[in-house]
Structure 1
């Protein structure tokens, strides 16, 4: 493919779409500026570039594909930073790499590496991100850069979390907190980020009381406002729900609703509604909660999102099982299975519900099989708290049946697995 200039690419797409320069400029800029951009006599800002891509009905990444961005270094850096702020991480990476390869500018290499790492983390390229972070960690050690070290350790914690290495993630995130205390002027925004990451990690490993403490501390920070605050209210509501502190859960759920309702898009509103129904199910008629979830599942099916519909059906199955409706629980669990992939994390819950159904029906073979499937899924996704809970459930069932030896062996297997996971990450109990 021939490499075009940015102006040539915009002109080429505009002509294919049958749009005039006046139509493309309408409401965005002057037709004269469009003419200058297309002839490469002017460079659009990131905001203008995004608006042009939207008007031309093409993804920004497609607009920049195979385009020679012969920009001055400062312009290229500003464009890359604009893309990062706009969550266009894929298109920012080549620009950052170009700047890293060049020695003809005064932009700090550490800043470029840090922004590149953020992009890689957002894109899920955790191994590549880890390599860059190791470079930065060495730079911090050599140059004693405390501010940078806080950022690096926080990202190392995030990378470990994405790899399901929660003990290592906690180790790095705690180091980030300790390093932050050494900085003369502590950045409240960094404080909030670290506290939220610590809360999330404690939540993932089942330490919900500790998670609640960290979320509460983050909420005390003044800069921590707006949409992020609303999301934290919702996370805190879920943590209190897991502790069966239903009054606190409902209080924070309502606070989240107030903050998020106006800012959320349609998809986020459906997701928030789903979570709020599950949080409030203890205080409402369970049948009303089921009907609300059924309406939500229907919405997801209408827009063709089978996976989200499956997650809703899984929660309906859970509510039915909690209220002793065995046949309905089985039916909705099966509907969830039809909508979800076999490796979906939600399938762990589905198998747990099905195990409850079959044990209730005194079909021990199928009950055990579904619990074993739940264990496999929780192991795959590093859900240690759920893994421990489902194993304890199995062991209680076996003890009630008088199968004490098998119950003991399963607990031993859990202990061996958990110890092995920690040892692989350099932590020996």
Structure 2
């Protein structure tokens, strides 16, 4: 069925009239063009004047006006429901406007509204499909900023479901659009590069993470986004530590602490202090690292922050292990695994510490139990050094307990992991 605009255009062409002729004395030719493409709706008075000029009665368009008005009212109602956070009620109204999308509406706008409803209702698959439609429709109109925003939200959806590789793909596509359009002034670009930095850190791609963080930090300074600036510097510090560039890592963490302090972001301050301790341990400065981590553990603000406290305890336990302080290592690691049961990396490090310490204390059964508990977390981490270490300790424990066959199998596994690393 033809729309109102299509009917007016067809009648005009049947009468061999130009848009200029139809518009003369009433409106501009541009307005006629917008009406015919359903981007504008004529008033009742104008519609009567156009009908007279086209030689039809105004009633010829009555059904079209009513239909168009009904669609506009449905959309307005849906937006009101969204503003009231009643997404379940807004969703069916929006769905009625997309099969197909009426010509007076822009596809990408409707799809974006639908995506937001699905996302708020935690229907992530449907939300992702709608954001993909936003990207398609936006790029067809050369609306690059809207496509960048849609890619950002797609990445956020996938990150929420721990689908890191897919999230990275969407953010990389957004970053590619930004690179191809350097004139775009978009604060969200900072978040896209920061998220790419975090995800490359998660995947242990530290040099690539640094490159993303460098782009993000320039944008954070430009837009004076203090929290984002601190978090990006924080990420850069962690990346430098992972790459063995400990002094640079500590410098960036100290910069982050100064900004966190200005905006009173205590959790960020806490984690930066713990990360400085981690850097000292990674640098082989075990006594200094233990002192720094002890300061963290005794600090009032960190004692109130359970996750940061568990992190500091786990790291201090690893320092004690290197200093051959077996009982202290066991006490700290046991406390850490009880405080934070949900972080695989922490569980892996603490269980490794416990397994090694118990082997040194000649308690192979406890060493075996902790090695097995640590390996249960191995699927959720990319730290193969600790995983290999757990298999090695388990092999020693199994050998001490008389299970030579299982011990040999673990020893072979450790050797294969070492070979695959080269």
Q: TM-score, normalised by structure 1?
A: 0.61
Q: For residues 378 and 405 of structure 1, do their structure 2 counterparts lie closer, same or farther at Cα, with a shift above 3 Å needed?
A: closer
Matches of 1:309 and 1:395, distance apart in 2: 27
Cα root mean square deviation, aligned: 4.4
1:365 Cα offset (Å): 4.8
- Cα distance in 2, alignment partners of residues 231 and 321 from structure 1: 31
Q: Against the structure 1 CA distance between its residues 139 and 355, is the aligned structure 2 distance closer, same or farther, given a 3 Å change threshold?
A: farther
User: 1:421 maps to which residue?
Assistant: none
How far, CA to CA, are the matches of 2:348 and 2:204 in structure 1? 16
Inter-CA distance 248–325: structure 2 relative to 1 (3 Å threshold): same
Q: In the alignment, which residue of structure 2 is the partner of 1:227? A: 227
Structure 1 residues 287 and 411: alpha-carbon distance in aligned structure 2, compared to 1, 3 A threshold: closer
Contact map agreement 2:293 2:313 (CA 8 A) in 1? no
> Is 1:191 aligned with 2:189?
yes
CA separation in 2, counterparts of 1:351 and 1:97?
Answer: 48
Extract unaligned runs of 5+ from structure 1.
1-69, 84-90, 417-429
Q: CA offsets per residue over residues 260-280 of structure 1, 9 Å max, x none?
A: 211024444444444444446
User: Do residues 294 (structure 1) and 287 (structure 2) align?
Assistant: no
User: 218-227 or 278-287, which moves further after superposition?
Assistant: 278-287
Alpha-carbon distance, 1:244 to partner? 2.0
Question: Which segment is superposed worse, 341-350 or 220-229?
Answer: 341-350
Say whether 1:406 aligns with 2:402: no
Is 1:316 matched up with 2:312? Answer: no
Matches of 2:93 and 2:388 in 1, distance apart?
A: 54
Look up the SS of the partner of 1:178 in the other structure. Answer: helix
How far, CA to CA, are the matches of 1:122 and 1:260 in structure 2?
Answer: 30
Displacement of 1:342: 6.1
> Residue 332 of structure 1: CA displacement?
1.0
Query: What SS is found at the alignment partner of 1:206?
Result: coil
In the alignment, structure 1 residue 353 sits paired with structure 2 residue 363 = no
Contact kept, 8 Å, 2:274 with 2:308, in 1: the verdict is no
Q: Who is 1:391 aligned against?
A: 387
Does 1:218 find its partner at 2:221? no
- How many angstroms apart in 2 are the aligned matches of 1:357 and 1:292? 23
Alpha-carbon distance, 1:125 to partner: 6.2
Pairing 1:172–2:170 present: yes
Alpha carbons 1:73, 1:99 under 8 Å: kept: no
For 1:157, the equivalent position in structure 2 comes to: 155
SS of match in other structure, 2:262: coil
Secondary structure at the counterpart of residue 184 of structure 2: coil
Kept in 1, the 8 Å contact 2:230–2:259? The answer is yes
Pick closer, same or farther for the CA change 1:366–1:411 going to 2, 3 Å: farther
- Change in CA separation of 1:254 and 1:265 when aligned onto 2, cut-off 3 Å: closer
Does structure 1 conserve the Cα–Cα contact (< 8 Å) formed by 2:250 and 2:279? Answer: yes
Alignment of 1:101-112 (within 5 A): 110-111=108-109
Structure 1 residues 269 and 131 mapped into 2: Cα distance closer, same or farther (>3 Å)? same
1:367 maps to 2:370? no
Distance apart, 1:112 and its partner CA = 6.1
Change (3 A) 1:118 1:367: farther
- Trace 1:254-333 onto structure 2 (pairs within 5 A): 254-279=254-279, 285-296=288-299, 299=301, 306-333=306-333
CA gap of 1:267–1:164, structure 2 versus 1, over 3 A, is closer
- Output the CA distance in 2 between the equivalents of 1:318 and 1:96: 53
Question: TM-score, normalization: structure 2?
Answer: 0.62
Pairwise CA distance, 1:394: 4.0
Q: Provide the C-alpha distance between the structure 2 equivalents of 1:232 and 1:78, rounded to a whole number of angstroms.
A: 37
Write out per-residue CA displacement over residues 189-241 of structure 1, whole angstroms, 9 at most, x where no aligned residue: 34333322221121111111221222123223353532211111111111111
**Number of residue-to-residue matches in the alignment:** 331
Q: Distance in 2 between matches of 1:124 and 1:319?
A: 43
SS at match of 1:244: coil
- The change in CA–CA distance for 1:211 and 1:368 in structure 2 (over 3 A counts) is farther
- The Cα shift of 1:405 comes to 4.7
Aligned in 2, Cα 1:411/1:312: closer, same or farther, shift over 3 Å?
same
**C-alpha contact (below 8 Å) 1:120/1:126 kept by paired residues:** yes
In 2, Cα distance between equivalents of 1:261 and 1:404: 53
Alignment map for 1:128-143 (pairs within 5 Å): 129-140=127-138
Structure (1 or 2) with the larger CA radius of gyration: 2
Equivalent residue of 2:204, what SS? coil
Residue 207 of structure 1 is matched in structure 2 by: 205
Give 1:341's aligned residue: 341
**Partner in structure 2 of residue 37 of structure 1:** none
Q: Distance in 2 between matches of 1:345 and 1:116?
A: 37
Larger mean Cα displacement after TM superposition, 318-327 or 208-217 = 318-327
Deviation at 1:325, TM superposition (A): 1.9
